[in-house]
Amino acid sequence: MAKKDSRVVDVTAQADALGAGVGGMTAGFAVTLRNMVRSLPGRNSVTIQYPEQRKPYSRRFRGVHVLTLRPDGRLKCVACYLCATACPAECISIEAAESPDPAVEKVARRYEIDLARCIFCGFCVDACPEEALAMTREYDLTTRGRLTELRYGIEELTQRPQIADYGAGYRPHMQYPLVESYLPTNLPPPAAASSPEAPAP
Amino acid sequence: MAVITIDGHPLEVEPNLVIMQASDRAGIEIPRFCYHPDLRPEGSCRMCLVRVKGFARLTPACATPVADGMVVSTAHHDEEVAQATRGVLEFLLVNHPLDCPICDQSGECSLQDYYMHSDYGLHRSDVEPEEKVRKRKGINLGPIYMDSERCVMCSRCVRFSNEVSGAGELQFVSRGNHVEIMAFEDRALQDPYAGNLADLCPVGALTSRDFRFKRRVWFLDHADSICPGCSTGCNVRIDHAAGHIERLVPRRNPAVNHSWMCDEGRFSYKRPESLPRLTTPRLRIHGALRRASWDEAMAVVQRELASRPPRGASAVVASPMASNESLWVLGQLARALSSSPHLEYRCLADPSPDIREDALLRRRDKHLNSTGAGWLGLGTAAGLEALALAADRHELARAVILHGAPRVGPNEPIRRELLSRIVRGTPFVVVMSDVAEDWGDAAHVVLPVAAWAEEEGTYTNGAGTVQHGACALNPPGEARAALAVLTELWAALGGPRYGGPADVFQRGLMQCAAFEGLDYGTLASRAATAYPPEGRMPYGQEGFAGR
Ligand code: SF4
Ligand code: SF4
Ligand code: SF4
Ligand code: SF4
Ligand code: FES
């Protein structure tokens, strides 16, 4: 059953109108030429000199995760597994343990995101009841292998000086600026670390 | 019979029931905390309020007997009842810490489920954390972890401890807002049934220390089985994930174990972790046991068993841990080997004195299928002692031994000693075992077979009830189901071919008078539906939808 109001493009009729010989070919080259001129450097070019130049991404960009910390440096994560439950790629693995601090019941002994399997949907961040997980705008993950290098554990997910460069990404429920409040003390001062193209966090 | 109407559904029920039991049979859910089908009713939590036409006030469904002509409406249909239930729920939440993300009960918690119910939950509970009455958290009671803040004062645990196990170790102290559940001086519970407290507590106030933080419950897969711990055969549900058993919880069966199981049985799933498992077939080549493939090993066994030895008898040792199906095929195999085989499964010597038994559930016989082995006529010699003597006198020509390690109690030193004598005194021995134990090292062929929970089958408990246990895990390494190995051997000796436990049961076992009239499919589906014939258990939910 054909949809009544859908527009039918009769390609044969269009080709016939352009003629069989040089006409059609010229029309094609015209399109190519037009786009080539448009993208010449210095004009409204879409091409940038990556990786020296980078595009600013949206503040809702869903890049590599960070595990946020309490003021005393401990993980905020309470090992509730809600992120692992929400994750459609099943790439988060957590091991809970008894906390040495009597005021805290449960801590994550191991927390691992396999970023090679992650589809960066952000469901884990949505699910977290503790604001323990947020995303950054870091997107260029390059490694030599793909089995274990991209399995980020607590260490990799907390020690991320890169986020000063890339800026904070998707964290819809977080009321405070991620970068300032979270950055571990061992990071270089943000001024020295940020490059001119880096977007303000 | 009384005819009553609940939410417009007419029901015919026995007159000695309370409204709660009638509604449970009809599948109409009435929320409850204190009611438990295997404890005496108390009527203290008021969560189960319903309206009965003609009564001046709302009445608790768990404490009101049905009467002919009664018209009942529940929170699902009556806004006033829903309002009252919401009020009760709100009172329970006033001091509740609402720490579901770290609470181990989360996912199987009645309070959580009721709060999420669209008829009486989902209201806004606006009590600031500072205003809540704080109580003691994180108390270690041996097998149980206690968090008083999460308690809803249903007294199920107190009643269990007083009425069922008789330990009487828990009590309420203080009053009103400050009431708390407490064990004397926070000492570890001595009750051998204490594990049940974690199951029956509807919230996360009492949780299992063994299961603590292992897995969120919605990641668990389930298999309905029978406890391997003793001849009571308590109905259990195996909760497993990623190829490991994470816990056993009892399934309700009023005829066998009510809603309970003992702690020895509950933790019996850990035994195999401490026993080395057999993972590959092994064959004696030039005097030494070497790794072999299944084909090589089975070829040797078939060749040896098919040839008639010039002199000496054939002996078959059965395991009271094996399923009825395996034992039946083993019996047939024995009769195919010789017209008068020595068949035995019993060890007559008194087992160790520190095996415990009591009036509630635990039995001295720590095997789950001794009765089945007896029914199938597998005890024809005068105990393993007689077989061992015969082996000592070199009267045996060949022996087939099916062995399963017991899960509870000492690991049968006497039995292992007798088996060792049989193995050493017999010219050709096939051992089918789940564990690698040194008595088997003198055998000629050692075949790894599945242990309990790795193979489906039926078991006959001490009272003669035939029950079905499902398969939860894969056997380790190259181990195969005992039944598959046995049927293959029997077929090689000229027996019929069978296609699995259901087939063996229907075509084979049912020829035995004891199993007549039973049906494998019915046994298996009974296992699957036995959860809440009456009353929702705090677990047994369909799980997290969508996973
Ligand atoms: S972003 Fe999506 S896929 Fe990646 S870890 Fe989070 S939930 Fe899983
Ligand atoms: S949801 Fe948040 S608090 Fe829970 S385990 Fe994941 S990161 Fe930790
Ligand atoms: S500890 Fe659990 S079972 Fe005991 S009274 Fe409290 S809520 Fe009920
Ligand atoms: S009483 Fe026996 S069957 Fe029941 S749980 Fe204990 S060991 Fe298992
Ligand atoms: S008062 Fe009926 S279930 Fe508690």
pLDDT tens for each residue of B249-279: 999 998 899 999 999 999 999 988 788 999 9
Find the CB nearest B213 among A85, A97, A130: A97
**Domain boundary residue among B67, B91, B115?**
B91
Phi/psi at B323 (5° precision): -75, 160
CB-CB under 8 Å, A85 with B216: yes
Whether residue A150 is contained in a domain is answered as yes
Domain span including residue A121 = 65-187
The mean predicted confidence, pLDDT, of chain B is: 90
C-beta B152 within 6 A of ligand 3? yes
C-beta B63 within 6 A of ligand 3? no
DSSP code string of B422-463: HHHH-SEEEEEESB--GGGGG-SEEEEB--TTSS-EEEE-TT
Q: Give the alpha-carbon dihedral of B419, B424, B430, B431, to 10 degrees.
A: 40
Whether residue B118 is contained in a domain is answered as no
Taking the C-alpha atoms of residue B95 and residue B132, their distance in angstroms, rounded to an integer, is 5
Chain B residues with CB-CB distance to A106 below 8 A = 102, 213
Token couple for B39:
């404890």
Q: Which chain B residue has its CA at the smallest distance from A107's CA?
A: B102
**What integer pLDDT is reported at residue A170 of this predicted model?**
87
**What integer pLDDT is reported at residue B120 of this predicted model?**
87
**What integer pLDDT is reported at residue B531 of this predicted model?**
45
For residue A90, the CA-to-ligand 2 centroid distance in Å is: 14
Q: Which residues of A touch B (CB under 8 A)?
A: 78-82, 84-85, 96-98, 102, 105-106, 129-130
Whether residue B243 is contained in a domain is answered as no
CB-CB under 8 Å, A105 with B138: yes
The upper half-sphere exposure of residue B169, i.e. CA atoms within 13 Å in the direction of its Cβ, equals 18
For residue B26, the CA-to-ligand 1 centroid distance in Å is: 43
Cis peptide before A88 (omega within 30 of 0): no
pLDDT in tens, B284-296: 999 899 999 999 9
**What integer pLDDT is reported at residue A177 of this predicted model?**
61
Q: How far is B135 from chain A (nearest CA, A)?
A: 13
How many C-beta atoms lie closer than 10 Å to residue A172's C-beta?
10
Whether residue B233 is contained in a domain is answered as no
Token couple for A50:
């990556």
CB-CB under 8 Å, B99 with A105: yes
Domain span including residue B300 = 275-528
Counting from 1 in the atom list of ligand 1, the atom nearest the Cα of A83 is: 7
For residue A120, the CA-to-ligand 3 centroid distance in Å is: 42
C-beta A92 within 6 A of ligand 1? yes
Whether residue A129 is contained in a domain is answered as yes
Nearest CA to ligand 2 atom 1: A128
Q: Give me the CATH number covering residue B6.
A: 3.10.20.740
* Structural domain total, chain B: 3
pLDDT in tens, B50-63: 999 999 999 999 99
Residues B174, B54 within the same domain: no
Q: Give me the CATH number covering residue A132.
A: 3.30.70.3270
Residues B78, B145 within the same domain: no
CB-CB under 8 Å, B219 with A106: no
- Beta bridge mates, B480: B449
- Beta bridge mates, A113: A92, A152
Q: How far is A190 from chain B (nearest CA, A)?
A: 35
**What integer pLDDT is reported at residue A43 of this predicted model?**
66
Whether residue B300 is contained in a domain is answered as yes
Does residue B96 carry a pLDDT above 80? yes
pLDDT in tens, B145-191: 999 999 999 999 999 999 999 999 999 999 988 999 999 999 999 99
* Structural domain total, chain A: 1
Among A76, A80, A82, the residue to mutate for chain B (most B Cβ within 10 A): A80
Q: Which amino acid belongs to residue A136?
A: T
Q: Which chain A residue has its CA at the smallest distance from B209's CA?
A: A98
Among A83, A95, A98, A105, the residue to mutate for chain B (most B Cβ within 10 A): A105
Residues A138, A142, A143: CA angle, nearest 5 degrees: 135
Taking the C-alpha atoms of residue A91 and residue A121, their distance in angstroms, rounded to an integer, is 12
Q: Give the alpha-carbon dihedral of B321, B242, A155, B106, to 10 degrees.
A: -90
Q: Which range has the top average pLDDT, B331-340, B393-402, B518-527?
A: B393-402
Q: Give the alpha-carbon dihedral of B182, B185, B188, B192, to 10 degrees.
A: -60
As a whole number, mean pLDDT of residues B77-103 equals 93
Taking the C-alpha atoms of residue B302 and residue B30, their distance in angstroms, rounded to an integer, is 61
Ligand 2 site-directed mutation target among A113, A128, A131, A158, most atoms within 8 Å of CB: A128
Contact A173, A197 (CB under 8 A): no
Does residue B539 carry a pLDDT above 70? no
Q: Which residues of B touch A (CB under 8 A)?
A: 99, 101-102, 106, 137-138, 212-213, 216, 218-219, 544, 547
Among B106, B210, B212, B216, the residue to mutate for chain A (most A Cβ within 10 A): B216
pLDDT in tens, B347-379: 887 667 778 889 999 999 999 999 999 999 999
Q: How far is B14 from chain A (nearest CA, A)?
A: 44
Whether residue A14 is contained in a domain is answered as no
For residue B201, the CA-to-ligand 4 centroid distance in Å is: 20
Find the CB nearest B101 among A78, A84, A98: A78
Residues B161, B309 within the same domain: no
CB-CB under 8 Å, A130 with B101: yes
**What integer pLDDT is reported at residue B72 of this predicted model?**
96
Taking the C-alpha atoms of residue B392 and residue B384, their distance in angstroms, rounded to an integer, is 12
Q: Give me the CATH number covering residue B158.
A: 3.30.70.20
Contact B352, B505 (CB under 8 A): no
Chain B residues with CB-CB distance to A97 below 8 A = 213
Whether residue A181 is contained in a domain is answered as yes
Q: Which chain A residue has its CA at the smallest distance from B544's CA?
A: A85
Residues B79, B181 within the same domain: no
**Higher pLDDT among residues B546 and B30, named by residue:** B30
Length of chain A: 201
One-letter-per-residue 3-state SS of A88-128? CCCCEEEEEEECCCCCCCEEEEEEEEECCCCCCCCHHHHHC
**What integer pLDDT is reported at residue A198 of this predicted model?**
37
For residue B244, the CA-to-ligand 1 centroid distance in Å is: 25
Q: How far is B129 from chain A (nearest CA, A)?
A: 15
The Cα-based distances of A201 to A163, A192, B63 in angstroms read 9, 15, 62
Whether residue B227 is contained in a domain is answered as no
C-beta A96 within 6 A of ligand 1? no
Q: Which of B174, B134, B182, B186 is nearest to B157 (CA)?
A: B182
Taking the C-alpha atoms of residue B523 and residue B503, their distance in angstroms, rounded to an integer, is 14
**What integer pLDDT is reported at residue A199 of this predicted model?**
38
Whether residue A103 is contained in a domain is answered as yes
CB-CB under 8 Å, B137 with A105: yes
Chain A residues with CB-CB distance to B544 below 8 A = 85
Whether residue B49 is contained in a domain is answered as yes
Taking the C-alpha atoms of residue B172 and residue B49, their distance in angstroms, rounded to an integer, is 24
For residue A77, the CA-to-ligand 2 centroid distance in Å is: 5
Q: What is the CA radius of gyration of chain B?
A: 27
Residues B174, B311 within the same domain: no
Whether residue A23 is contained in a domain is answered as no
Q: Give me the CATH number covering residue B287.
A: 3.40.50.740
Whether residue B282 is contained in a domain is answered as yes
CB-CB under 8 Å, B218 with A96: no
**Higher pLDDT among residues B517 and B150, named by residue:** B150
Give me the residues of chain A with pLDDT under 50, please.
1-2, 184-201
Name the E strands within B85-138. Answer: none
Pairing of strands B235-241, B221-226: antiparallel
Taking the C-alpha atoms of residue B259 and residue B35, their distance in angstroms, rounded to an integer, is 13
Whether residue A7 is contained in a domain is answered as no
A16 contacts: CB under 8 Å, gap ≥ 6: none
Chain A residues with CB-CB distance to B212 below 8 A = 98
- The tokens 């404490």 sit on which residue? B63
Chain B residues with CB-CB distance to A123 below 8 A = none
Chains A–B, number of C-beta pairs less than 8 Å apart = 30
ipTM score of the complex?
0.82
As a whole number, mean pLDDT of residues B320-337 equals 94
Chain A residues with CB-CB distance to B101 below 8 A = 78, 80, 82, 129-130
Q: Coil, helix or strand for B229? A: coil
**What integer pLDDT is reported at residue B505 of this predicted model?**
95
* Cα four-point dihedral sign B486, B492, B494, B500: positive
Whether residue B179 is contained in a domain is answered as yes
**What integer pLDDT is reported at residue A179 of this predicted model?**
57
**What integer pLDDT is reported at residue B529 of this predicted model?**
53
Start-to-end CA distance of chain A, whole Å, equals: 52
**What integer pLDDT is reported at residue A20 of this predicted model?**
65
Cis peptide before A51 (omega within 30 of 0): yes
As a whole number, mean pLDDT of residues B413-419 equals 92
pLDDT in tens, B204-249: 999 999 999 999 999 999 999 999 999 999 999 999 999 999 999 9
CB-CB under 8 Å, A81 with B216: yes
